[in-house]
Each structure stands twice: as C-alpha cells, then as structure tokens.
Amino acid sequence: MPVYNQIPVMFHGAIGNIGHLFVITSFVAALIAAFCYWTASKENVVETKKQWLFNGRVGFIVHSISVLGIILVLFTIIYSHYFEYHYAYAHSSRHLPGQYMIACFWEGQEGSFLLWMFWQALLGIVFLTKRDKWEAPMITILALIQAFLASMILGIVIPGLNIKIGSSPFILLRDAMTDPIFQLQPLFIPKDGNGLNPLLQNYWMVIHPPVLFLGFALTSIPFSYCVSGLWKKQYSEWIKPAFPWTILGVAILGLGIIMGGYWAYETLSFGGYWNWDPVENAVYIPWIILIASLHTMMTYEASKQGLKFTIILVLAVFILILYSTFLTRSGILGESSVHSFTDLGLSGQLLIYLLFFIAISVFLVLFRWKNIPTTSKELTTYNKEFWVFLGATVLCLTGFQVFIETSKPVYNSIIRLFGAESNLAPPIDAVAYYSGFQLWFAVSIALLSGISQLLWWEKSEKNLQRKKITATTLISLIVFALIILIANVNTPIYMVLLFSGIFTIVSNLFLLYNLLKIKPNLSGGSISHIGIGLMIIGILFSAGYSKVVSLNNTGMLYNSDMGTEFNRDNLLLFVNETRTMDGFDIEFLGEFVEARNKRGYIKKTALQYTSDPYKVIAKKDILFGGKMLYNSKDTFEIYPENTFYKIQLSKNGKISATLFPRIQTNSRMGGILASPDITHTLTRDLYTHVSAPMPADVEPSWSKTEEIRVSIGKPFFVNDYVAVLEKVVPVDVSEIPGLNKQNGDMAVKVVIKVEGENDIYYAEPIFLIRNKNEIGQISSEIGELGSKLTLLNIHPETDEFTLGLNSRQKNWVIIKAIEKPFINVLWIGTIILTIGLVMATYRRFYNERSVSD
C-alpha cells in the first residue's frame, strides 16, 4: 500500500527530454527551411519551385511548432516547480507570486532567446501566408536568423572536439551543479528554488521584455527585405513592403525601451528612468538608426533619392541589434555596467552570429554597389528632401556618439587580443557625459523635424514657405516666453532645447490642422513628431530640473563618517513624529507587509509571527482602506521579504499622499534592496525611497530595566503610554519561533494592550518553564513606542505579575525624496508618439494591400 501522508516526490526526467527534442527539431527544421527556400528562390521551373516552396513552408511550420513546444515545456517546468531542472531551481521558488512566474521565464538568457525566436517565428508565418515573390528569399534569411538563435539554446557537445554549442534550458540540476549530494542521491530534488531576483518582481518585467523582443524581431523584417532585394536585384522594390514594418518597429522598439526606463524608475532607486548604462545604450543605438532609416525610406518613396543611404541604414539597424545582443550577453561589458550578467560561455557563438550577418551585408553591398540606381537630382535648400537627409544624418551621429563611447570594452578586448595593454574605462559621470552631446543632437533633431515637416507638404514656393517658417517661429517664441515666465527655465542650453521642442510641436500642430481638413489619414507623421517634441520637453524638465526635496532640516548629522551629500539629501523620520518637507507635514507611520492573498498593507505590529516566516496570526482585526482584511486570530500568509514604510504627506491637516516605499531583504541574493514609491500629480512626481532602514541585525541600546507589579485589568504606564494587562493565555511551545519543543515544556503569555498616539498595540511576553525549574522569558517589543516588555515573574498567590520595562529610541527610517517636474509630459509624449506611429503603420499596410489588390 502506498503511504499517502507524505507527498511523493517524483523525478520528472521525460519532460526535459521532450523539451530538448523540441530544441533540436527547431534548429534542424530552421536549417532545412532555409535550404528549401534558398533552393526555391533560385529555381526557375515552376513545378520544381512549387515543390521546394512547399518543403520550405513545412520546414518553417515545423520549426515554429517546435519553438512553441519548447516554450510550453519550459513554462510547465517552471510552473510545476520541477526543481530537478536547473532553470526552475535558479529562477523560481514556491513562494513566488503566480504572475512573476512569467518573468522567471525570461530572467535567464535562454528564455529571452526563446522570446525573440517566438516573435520572429510568428512574423515568419505572416510572410509564409502572403505567398508573394518575397516569400522565398525573405524566409531564407529569417530561417537563418532563427537557426542561429536556436543554436544558442541547443546544449549539445560535439563529440571529439569537446565544443559545447548553446546552453539548454532543460539541463538537470545535477548536471549543472557539482554538489556532493547528487553522488549520494542522483534523484535528489531540492524542496525549493533560488527564487526570482527581487528587482524583476515587478509587473513591468512581465510586459517590458515581450515588447522589447518584438521590437528586436521587427528589425529583422526590413533587413530581410533589403538583403532579398540586393540578392534578387530588386534594388528598390523592397522598400514599399518593408516600410510599414519599419514604422511598426520604431513604435514597438521605442515603447519597449521606454517601458524598461519606467521599470527602472519604479524599481531601482537611482532616482531616474535613464542612466546611460551600456545595456540601455545598446538598444538606444539601433532604435535611433531605425528612425533614420524610416526617414530615408520615406524620402525614397516620395522622390527616389537616397537609395544607397537607405540600404546602408537598414542593414546597419539589424547588425546593431546583433551587436547589442553580443555586448549584453557575452560578458564583455562586465566591468563597465551596473547590470550583472550571466555569462553562459556563448560569446564565441554570439560573435559568429554577428560576423555572419555583417559578412552577408558587406558582401552584398560591395557586390551590388555599382548596380544600385542613383539619381542626379540636385538637393536645394528649399527642397524638402534636403532637410530630411540632414535630419537622418544628425540621427546617425546621435547613435554614432553613443556607439563610439559604449564600445570601449570592445576596443580593450581587441587591443588585448594583439598583446597590447588597454585600460579604457567608461566615463566617470555617464549621465553628464552623454547628456552633454545628446542635448545638442536633440536640439538639431527637433528644429530639423519642425522645418522639414513644414516644407514636406508644401509645393515648393519659396515665399509661402518663408512666411510659414516665420509664423511658426513667432508663435513658438510666444509660447516659449510664457513657459519661461512660469517655469523659470534659466540655463541657456535648456532654453535652446525648450524652444526647439516647442518649435517642433507648433509646426506639427500647424500641419496637423491642415491635414485634418484634407487628408486626416495622413496625420500619423505629424502626431508622432508632436510626441517627440513633448518627450524632449518632458525629459528637459524631469531630468534637468529634478530636485531633492528631502533636505535635512534637523541640523543633525546622522553619521560623521559619511560624505556631506548623504547628510544633506536625506531625511530622518521617527515613527509618529511629524517633520516638514517641501511645504508638507511628513510623518512615518510604521512598517507594513503585504498579504499573499489580499490586496492592502498590514501593519507589522498587528501580527504575531510563527515558526514559519510566511505564516502569521492577526493580533487584532486588520483593516485597510476601511475594509476588513482579517479578523483577530486569523492565520494567513504574507511575503516576509518585503517591508513597506508608510510615509504620509499632509498639508494643513489634510492628507495629500500616502506612500509605501519598499525594502526587500533577500538573504540568497544578499542584502537589502530599496524600491521607491511615487506620488503622481499632474505637474510633478514625488519620488520617495528608503535610503536606510533600521538595521535588523543590530541590537539597539535599551534603558535599564524598570520592574513593576501589575494585575489583570488595572491600568499602568509603559513609556508614558496607558497600558493594561488583559489576560493570561497558555502557549503551545512548538508554535514559538526559534524554539525547539522539549518534553515537559510549559509556557504562558500575558496579553498587554498599549494605547499609542495613532494606534493600539499588543505586547505578548512569554514565560517558559523547562524541566520544572529552568525559567525562560521571551520579551515582546513595540518598536513604534520604543518599548520592550518582559514577563519576569508570576505570583499566583496574589494574581499579580512582575513586568520588566525597557525603553529605547523609537523606530526610525531615513528617506530620500526627489521631485520630478512635468515627467507626465514625457509619458504623454511617448503615448502620442506611439499612436502616431501606429496610425502611420496602419495606413501603409492599408495602402500596400489596396495596391496589391
């Protein structure tokens, strides 16, 4: 008979083999698809061509199904907590909230490669069903890209050569680790996993990566079109069908980048959304070049100029995406980035991937260069193309500057390869360094986009154009003057940037007004440019005029060891004591936790902890926002890793905002982690994070013990607060945290109610008798009142109790608060940009379809 009182732990070996089989199938099928489509594209006999096309389609569909299979298997392993697999063990744990299981999937490199493959397979299917002349050459390229991606997760060792290709997500824990336990028990399965990095336990980490990788995948579409065009000598025909995908790519990649920035803003406490970290730069560069290519493609469509420039830009975008993949995943950035990378030893493979597509591009361009048609049309100053090309050139330089600086670790590696010494380091103050350049590029881009938009839609009549530009400039100057008066912008470069942002908005509003009257479906471009103008102004105010508001007004130094900055920018708050900050009354109202199954914050003082850190008992009824969460004595689960510090801001007695900045303690990840809470108002964000919590592992200094005798129901004073001993309750010793029950242990606790300023607290000191004569006392602390109560003795003869009282400094927290003015303008600008781009994409797709019909 099987024993049911123990959960049977089964070793799931088969599922990983199925997953690995899918990986191998996806790799092989991608290669077969590439080969069949390649043969098909060269074949001229209709029947044979059809046959090869059919084979190619089958190959690509098998590949796509396998990719889906890998994803489903890997997700099953994570979701079912099969910790015998390294991926589940390394990235997940039993206590991880369900929605973050998705984030586990792409915490590892293998999962993020899979995400990229998934989108690209889906896009491939779109082209497969179109069945036009581009299908064969395009999917040849796409399938090759997919084969390279699949090789990254192949996890196969070439026999004889001892070369490992790829890192499989289905590797067993016992193969990944050398822990001796696996020699004793090969079927050993750990009870719990390592857990997800607390930084990634955020809903933006659930949506940001899919959007970003869709952006990555979209850049391969214009690339494949362009390569096909060069290959099949259709030098310019590819631009029209590639165009809508390029616009969509700009929208999605841009959205992905901004979402990443928003995640950083909400989760990391560096005080902003953009840090010019190499990892951020690596995707910023291809996005900027993608925008440049979008503009030259448009110019080519309109006036057949700049084909060579367009081809180079389109090829460069995808190569830059591969370069960014190489930078962020090969470990080469190691010393220069705050992000820590898991180097899977794929750097060689990644380099081959990059070089392969560089070689294809360079080879095709050189081979076909002479045959690429050019025009002899002259660009003139009043020619709209002139301004767009100038804009595209500035965009290229914008990307180039970041590229040159971010690539420093690559120069070091190359120079060291030749035996020389190179120790180039990234800039000391990256934000100041990059902003110094990028500010001027932003000014140029804003002004050029304003001017070229005015000229674009106008038949070139010089006088009318001059008039329009003058009128736009005048209106912009008026708006500029008004904003300067209100917002007090006085740094010269910021004034220039502000004006250029306004100029592009005004000129595009002009255009939008005219377009709405005649061709409203063409307005996507002008709407996008308004978005860009708003983003520039939003960045200018939120970054340029970001201000620390938590200035230390106590005149006291927290720690003389530390620099002046820390002491100036941070505010020390004792619990329930009001301070002033930036015109607000600010108060720290205690430490809170979150329940596992209910929304809302629960005060730590209302909880009785048990021997299981995830399980607590309510000491009293728990309310949140007027709603009853738990009744007294309810047992429920919490997330013990997170502590929320309730910070309340009020003005004239009225509550303006309640903030819950968070501290995560994660011993496995090592140390503590602060995440901010942000109050959003129309004109500014107030960004608050804990810069130092009260240390948990240092015993505070208590006053000398004061002994008092009390009896049930009679009030007494604890640290000047009224208290009363309510009752005596027997305690089950096995329920006391940190105590091993022994035979004959007996324990009681007294429940003491203390009335504080804002809250009622319960202290429950325990009195323990072991072996009939050994006495133990477990004190109970009320940190918010700075009090500790100990049950020193019980006097059954008089029904009295002796209590020991100690006092200390009340609980405290040190916070930093930063004001981000008009940050909403940036987010609104992003949304408007995306709307404009999606409108333009839709119109182009619609156009393409109506033409082909």
Segment 400 to 459, residues that bind other proteins, using CB under 8 A: 400-401, 404-405, 408, 423-428, 433, 437
CB nearer to other proteins: give 280 or 745.
Answer: 280
15 neighbors 2 (Cβ within 8 angstroms): no
Containing 662, the helix (H) or strand (E) segment is strand 662-665
Choose the stretch contacting other proteins; rule: CB under 8 A; options: 559-567, 607-615, 625-633, 770-778: 559-567
Choose the stretch contacting other proteins; rule: CB under 8 A; options: 65-73, 123-131, 395-403, 535-543: 395-403
> Least distance (Å) from other proteins to the CB of residue 81?
10
CB nearer to other proteins: give 311 or 803.
Answer: 311
Please give the size of the binding site for other proteins, defined by CB under 8 A: 72
Choose the stretch contacting other proteins; rule: CB under 8 A; options: 385-393, 573-581, 752-760, 840-848: 385-393
CB atoms within 10 A of CB 727: 11
Amino acid, single-letter form, for residue 597: N
Per CB under 8 A, 469 contacts other proteins: no
- Give one DSSP letter per residue of 623-659, joined into a string: EETTEEEE-TT-EEEB-TTEEEEEEEEEETTEEEEEE
> Least distance (Å) from other proteins to the CB of residue 804?
25
Choose the stretch contacting other proteins; rule: CB under 8 A; options: 332-340, 361-369, 635-643, 773-781: 332-340
For helices 307-329 and 204-231, the axis angle rounded to 10 degrees is 140
Contacts of 27 (CB under 8 A, 6+ apart): 147, 150, 151, 154
> Least distance (Å) from other proteins to the CB of residue 290?
18
> Least distance (Å) from other proteins to the CB of residue 194?
5
Report the residue from 178, 463, 652, 771 that binds other proteins according to the rule CB under 8 A.
178
Choose the stretch contacting other proteins; rule: CB under 8 A; options: 174-182, 216-224, 500-508, 716-724: 174-182
> Least distance (Å) from other proteins to the CB of residue 424?
5
> Least distance (Å) from other proteins to the CB of residue 698?
6
> Least distance (Å) from other proteins to the CB of residue 412?
9
> Least distance (Å) from other proteins to the CB of residue 379?
4
Q: Give the Å distances, CA to CA, from 573 to 602, 624, 645, 647, 656.
A: 20, 23, 11, 9, 18
Per CB under 8 A, 159 contacts other proteins: no
Per CB under 8 A, 691 contacts other proteins: yes
| Entry field: residues in the chain | 853
C-alpha span between 148 and 351 (Å, rounded): 11
Which one-letter DSSP state was computed for residue 661?
Answer: -
Task: Quote the distance between the C-alpha of residue 797 and its chain's center.
Answer: 65
Report the residue from 559, 611, 631, 632 that binds other proteins according to the rule CB under 8 A.
559
Q: Tokens standing for 567? A: 């002491």
Per CB under 8 A, 397 contacts other proteins: yes
Could you give the dihedral angle defined by the CA atoms of residues 534, 539, 545 and 551, in that order, rounded to the nearest 10 degrees? 120
Burial (CB count <10 Å: 0-12, 13-18, 19+), residue 162: exposed
Contacts of 836 (CB under 8 A, 6+ apart): 523, 524, 525, 526, 527, 528, 529, 530, 531
Choose the stretch contacting other proteins; rule: CB under 8 A; options: 258-266, 390-398, 715-723, 737-745: 390-398
CB nearer to other proteins: give 390 or 828.
Answer: 390
Containing 109, the helix (H) or strand (E) segment is helix 109-130
Site for other proteins in 732-771 (CB under 8 A): none
CB nearer to other proteins: give 6 or 381.
Answer: 381
Choose the stretch contacting other proteins; rule: CB under 8 A; options: 121-129, 391-399, 456-464, 796-804: 391-399
Site string for other proteins, 78-97 (x = CB under 8 A): -----x--x---x--x----
Choose the stretch contacting other proteins; rule: CB under 8 A; options: 49-57, 202-210, 691-699, 729-737: 691-699
C-alpha span between 33 and 243 (Å, rounded): 25
CB atoms within 10 A of CB 813: 23
CB atoms within 10 A of CB 51: 15
Q: Tokens standing for 299? A: 């110019």
CB atoms within 10 A of CB 256: 22
CB nearer to other proteins: give 152 or 673.
Answer: 673
Facing residues of 819 across strands? 547, 686
Report the residue from 157, 432, 562, 760 that binds other proteins according to the rule CB under 8 A.
562
Site for other proteins in 792-821 (CB under 8 A): 814
Choose the stretch contacting other proteins; rule: CB under 8 A; options: 235-243, 544-552, 554-562, 610-618: 554-562
CB nearer to other proteins: give 69 or 190.
Answer: 190
Facing residues of 722 across strands? 717
Task: Quote the distance between the C-alpha of residue 9 and its chain's center.
Answer: 35
Q: Is 587 helix (H, G, I), strand (E, B) or coil?
A: strand
Per CB under 8 A, 196 contacts other proteins: no
CB nearer to other proteins: give 421 or 732.
Answer: 421
Site for other proteins in 694-733 (CB under 8 A): 694-695, 698
Report the residue from 51, 55, 76, 194 that binds other proteins according to the rule CB under 8 A.
194
CB nearer to other proteins: give 433 or 639.
Answer: 433
> Least distance (Å) from other proteins to the CB of residue 661?
14
Amino acid, single-letter form, for residue 839: M
Report the residue from 76, 236, 546, 666 that binds other proteins according to the rule CB under 8 A.
666
Per CB under 8 A, 184 contacts other proteins: no
CB nearer to other proteins: give 411 or 513.
Answer: 411
Residue 5 φ then ψ, to 5°? -75, -5
Burial (CB count <10 Å: 0-12, 13-18, 19+), residue 522: middle
Order of strands across the sheet that contains 615-618: 607-609, 615-618, 635-637
Per CB under 8 A, 75 contacts other proteins: no
Q: Is 720 helix (H, G, I), strand (E, B) or coil?
A: coil
Contacts of 830 (CB under 8 A, 6+ apart): 254, 255, 258, 531, 535
Per CB under 8 A, 347 contacts other proteins: no
Choose the stretch contacting other proteins; rule: CB under 8 A; options: 392-400, 547-555, 614-622, 759-767: 392-400
Per CB under 8 A, 335 contacts other proteins: yes
Contacts of 51 (CB under 8 A, 6+ apart): none
Report the residue from 235, 262, 566, 614 that binds other proteins according to the rule CB under 8 A.
566
Contacts of 331 (CB under 8 A, 6+ apart): 341, 343, 347
